Chain A
Amino acid sequence: MTKSNEAKKARRAGRVKTSEATFLGELADQQSSKYRLAQGFGVLFAVSLVLQAWALANVFSDMALHQSFSLSLLVIGLFALLLRALSNFGRERICASASRDIRYGLRSELVSHLTKLGPARLRIEEDAALSTRVYEQIDALDDFFSRYKPQVFMVTLLPCVILLSVVSISWITFFVFMMTAPLVIVFMIFVGHKAAQANRRQFSVLAMLSNQFMDLSQGLAELKRLNKTQEARDRLSDSASAYQKTTMSVLILAFLSTATLELFASLSIAMIALYLGLGLLEVLPWQVGESPVTLTQAMFLLLLAPEFYLPLRQLGNDYHAKQKAEAAATDLLEILNTTLSDTTIQTAESVMSELIESEVVEKEAFIGFHQLSWTESGHHRLAPITAQIAQGERVWLSGESGIGKSSLLHLLLGFEEDYQGQLFINGQAFQNIDLSDWRSKLAWLPQTPEWVNGSIRRNLLLGLEGSQTPTDEALQQALEKSQCDDFIQVLPEGLDTKLTELGSGLSGGQMQRLSIARALLSKTDVWLLDEPCSGLDNDTAEAVLDTLESVSRGKTLLIVSHDTHPITWADKHWTLTKGGLNEPFINQ
């Protein structure tokens, strides 16, 4: 087995360990004690395998030669079979539970990571696609952890044990095993590699096919309008047929290589069987007249021969589990590697301690920025800005897209940590304030209002549970102020109308008004608005802005808006540019 071990090592060394493989390895290490226990069961399995072969070989040879059998040996044989079943049972359960622990642990880690990322998570993908990763992709790791990982151990263990038990009985069998095992492994690598390539190609073609199906299905309404559904159907049918043809030509080759491998294993077994048969008949050319093995030994060898190659073949079958897991790992790593890097926090903190003494001016302000900036891969994403907002001041922030306006809001929301310079709230450094306390003062009105599945009422009261729950009166008042009451009254189900992902016929302006009502209900003093009017036509936008003006008096307001939707009533207008912050004019 040393040779096959070497071959395996060579295989490992030959391939550079990818980050996916490292990631999967680290995850497996979390459950190393369970895997060790599973290995224990594996050893038990191997021992019972040999025991069973030995006992049954004795029973068989007695039956053949003497027409009798020893009950005790039969009982041992059956007991070994039972032991084998039990150890398999144990191994399965432990590996499945290890896989579960890994996956569910990873899942809650991912969810909390996404929570921490906050708005930054959308840099990776939209929520629906993220949910696919968090659920489906993590479950795609199951086969790897519950089957492939333990099988790798069995692949080294079982042939070793069988070789050990064979060596004292028949040198020739031992050598046949020794010679063929490395060959099988080399062949496996070759086949595995080819199959992997074929598989990858398959996978991408299949993905393309699904994509086409998805694309046409999503545009079905459009196709119906254009009266082109039949053409699309033909297209689907043709590409599926073409796919079938190309796939089959690939599969014929891929299966052929596995079949050759199988044939190779069967031929080795047949070789051993032939040797044993001829040996028993005492007609081996080099040993005429004497038998190298007894019938018991021959039966023993024959029973073990298939078991020698079986784990290898199983590993080959489970190989796709590894590929599936690695593909999933790529997606999962992307989430985990998206971080709000905390290295800069430390530098920020060290800067802070210097600042605390020197800078006193900005401490007066309600919100103060001092040389605040972001760098992203060496470039300034936000040029250093120094500015302040007094309590009750309403500030309009404009600038090109991608200049860092949203990041500034996200920072105030406590979701952006990757910044240089200082942010003060009420004279306290942002790092030192109680984040949840600060957050409870905020209202957030993004471009697309944040809705959960549920009624309008539920959405208005979202997060206002328990003591915070406003009275019906307050609710009505907020709706009136935000001018929602008109269109809600018209709704047949009123406040209990369901809002779904698709909306429910409410226009963009109406949704923004609901958002304003929600902000009013939260009774917060600091409102952060991220382009609340983009996507609205000018008239609607103006009307919404008018409402905003009237309800936000007295509140501290930071509103991001393009020049196309000017906030004429703002106390200050900041323009963010690549060079920093400009304050073109101050209203009033």
Chain B
Amino acid sequence: MSHSLINKRSMNKSPFNKSAKLTLKGLLLANPWGFVIPVLIGVLASLAGVALLGLSGWFISAAGLATAMGVGLVFNYLTPGAIVRGLAILRTSGRYGEQVTAHNHLLGLLRILRLWVWDQRVAKDSANLHEQSRGDLLQRLVSDLDQIIRWPLVVFLPWIYALLSYVAVAIFAYFILPALLWPLAIAGVFHVFIVPYICGRFASHAVHVGQILGVHRRSRFVSLFSALITLTIRGHWKDYAERLEQLDERQRKSEILIQQAVSLGRLLAYGVTIALLACSFYLIGSFSGEAGQWLLIDGVKGTWMIGYVLSLLAINELVLPLVQSFVAQGQSQVGLRRLNQLHQEPLIQEPPIREQQAEIHAKNDSEQVIKMAFTHWRGFHASSEMGNTALDLLIESGDRVWIRGESGSGKSTLLAAIAGDCLSSGDAFINDEKQDLYGNQAYQNKISYLPQSPYIFQQSIGANLRLGNSNATDSELWSALDAVVLADWVQNLPNGLDTLLSSQGRNLSGGQRKRLALARLLLRSSGILLLDEPFDGLDKATIEHICSSLQNEYKPDILVLVSHVESQLGIGARIIEL
């Protein structure tokens, strides 16, 4: 599947360039034209909804009034009737159009954001990458993305609708009685700005705490459960489980707080509406003692007033969801903050894609590595600084080097450092030119490194192999598979090369995974092969076959081997004992 995609090189323009941080504003502007359409349609639909209620109220009351005044027969009921029907259709179709276009926009955002995350991760250097490659961390990243893309749809659009509906009703109110604008403006400010803001602020702390607690709780869960038996047999599980429950209890409290903010906010919004209605009635009425009733002041038409009150009730329905959506905004912001932690200032050695490609082309012409010299070379892990003891090493074309040593002596670390995959100290000279190997893409293009636990992708066997060489023919794939003694196995699979491998190659044995990764490397046909324990878990015959492949058709110029297993490759190899 992948090889068909590889050749199609679509340039993805994205406003989130690699160096940009994510912001909510950036989200809105990510695809402005895609966003304008749903906004416009949605605004039309919302206005139509408010107008529908107002107008039909006016229509019915005007009809009643006309009959009461005896002019019922000449009352033009066709035009308002048609408008009411038109508004109903506009509202429905508008909602439909808004949903369709907004979702289209949302899916586009998902793509843009995923690629942004991808670029950020690509820009990370390998040592940091490992930290973030843990399954649950990535899982959270994916759910953060889903949370964030919903922001325009859930928060921004409803807010715009409420705001514009207020404006429309304000125009209507002006024609009834300009004084009505005062309470309307105050209520509008409360409904659209103050109440959502206060509730959002009030809840955002709780949302933030809740999210942190969630992460904390989860890692404590994993940590405790991974030592479940030890803790249980020591009789201390209860104490530890209680701590887990305490975290849960705190989470519950923050959840209550959030829920209270939402409920109270809604109640408050209702309260504002009621106060607005009361004020409006107070402004348009004057008490007349003789009738014992409130009369409308002169110039205010009762039928219009009915339309106005009904549109206020319609607005109330529009502002109620705002409170909740502003709490949701808190969640988006926490998600954003977490995603932005991925972001780091672009590394200098990170060449832009085009340069990178130029380098790939240049690679074919560029000189082969014929000499690698290392002085005081020591590879070490970023977290513990454990590694090998510093050594001097000279490897020349035609060399075969076998690195041996006890477990814990830093064989793998040394090899990883040579491969530029791990932090190192000391100097490296490639073809007598001093180079920084760590994360050096140009250098890594010239070598093939088999790490201790290589990654197998959830793709077909063929696609996995073609990651080594995207132009490889089927027969090249088969010969590489044959070299690592996997050809028979693949042939017996019902789907052959198209067999889909499960996530992280879980349906393969450790030995198969490693051999598949080795076959992938062989397809790269680069001159330098760095192999970390390639024979783990393999039987003698298989090891021999692989060795002879590596000595004949797939013989590299330079082979560096880390292994505790005796093999033909070891015969005649320069041995480095750590």
Contacts and interface: CB of A to CB of B under 8 A. Distances in A.
Contacts of B325: none
B293 A218 contact: no
Interface residues of B, number: 159
A89 B267 contact: yes
Interface SS of chain B: helix
Q: Give me the 7 closest cross-chain CB pairs, A-B, nearest first.
A: A463-B234, A295-B64, A85-B270, A63-B302, A240-B111, A505-B386, A219-B455
B407 A537 contact: yes
Interface string B82-111: 001100110111011001100110011011
A465 B236 contact: yes
Given A237-B115, A269-B88, A451-B227, A65 B408 contact: no
Contacts of A211: 458, 503
B384 A450 contact: no
Given A225-B444, A453-B223, A215 B458 contact: yes
Nearest to A279: B63
A11 interface: no
Interface SS of chain A: helix
Nearest to B14: A237
A554 interface: no
Interface string B58-85: 0111111111100011010100010011
Interface in B120-134: 121-122, 126, 129-131, 133-134
Given A450-B229, A452-B227, A537-B564, 13 more contacts: A60-B306, A70-B293, A78-B278, A111-B241, A212-B458, A244-B111, A252-B100, A273-B56, A294-B64, A298-B60, A439-B232, A444-B230, A491-B386
A230 B234 contact: no
A237 B10 contact: yes
B271 A85 contact: yes
Nearest to B215: A135
B233 A440 contact: yes
A361 interface: no
Contacts of B114: 213, 236, 240
Interface size range of chain A in the complex = 35 or more
Given A69-B285, A248-B104, A85 B61 contact: no
Interface in B331-361: 353, 356-357, 360
B229 A446 contact: yes
B95 A259 contact: yes
Contacts of B445: 227
B370 to A, nearest CB: 21
Given A132-B139, A211-B458, A231-B470, A465 B229 contact: no
Interface in A262-319: 262-263, 266-267, 269-270, 273-274, 276-278, 280-283, 291, 294-295, 298-299, 302, 306
Contacts of B131: 502
B61 A299 contact: yes
Given A60-B306, A216-B457, A237-B10, A277 B92 contact: no
Given A127-B222, A226-B467, A248 B103 contact: yes
Contacts of B303: 63-64
A244 B100 CA distance: 12
Contacts of A107: 248
Given A68-B295, A78-B278, A266-B92, A295 B12 contact: no
Interface string B469-483: 010000000000000
B136 A132 contact: yes
Nearest to A227: B445
B237 interface: yes
A228 B223 CA distance: 34
Nearest to A237: B12
Given A104-B252, A234-B6, A115 B228 contact: yes
Contacts of B57: 60, 299, 302
Contact of B60 (A71, A223, A273): A273
A413 B233 contact: yes
Nearest to B255: A100
A539 B233 contact: no
A436 interface: yes
5 contacts: A85-B267, A89-B267, A115-B232, A414-B233, A468-B234
B308 to A, nearest CB: 11
Given A248-B107, A283-B72, A223 B118 contact: no
A238 B10 contact: yes
B64 A462 contact: no
B135 A218 contact: yes
A280 B285 contact: no
Nearest to A101: B252
Contacts of B218: 131, 135
B385 interface: yes
A148 to B, nearest CB: 16
A118 interface: yes
A241 B135 contact: no
B397 interface: no
Contact of B406 (A121, A219, A540): A540
A436 B119 CA distance: 52
A104 B245 CA distance: 10
Nearest to B122: A229
Nearest to B269: A85
B225 A108 contact: no
A358 B94 CA distance: 84
Contact of B139 (A214, A232, A501, A540): A214
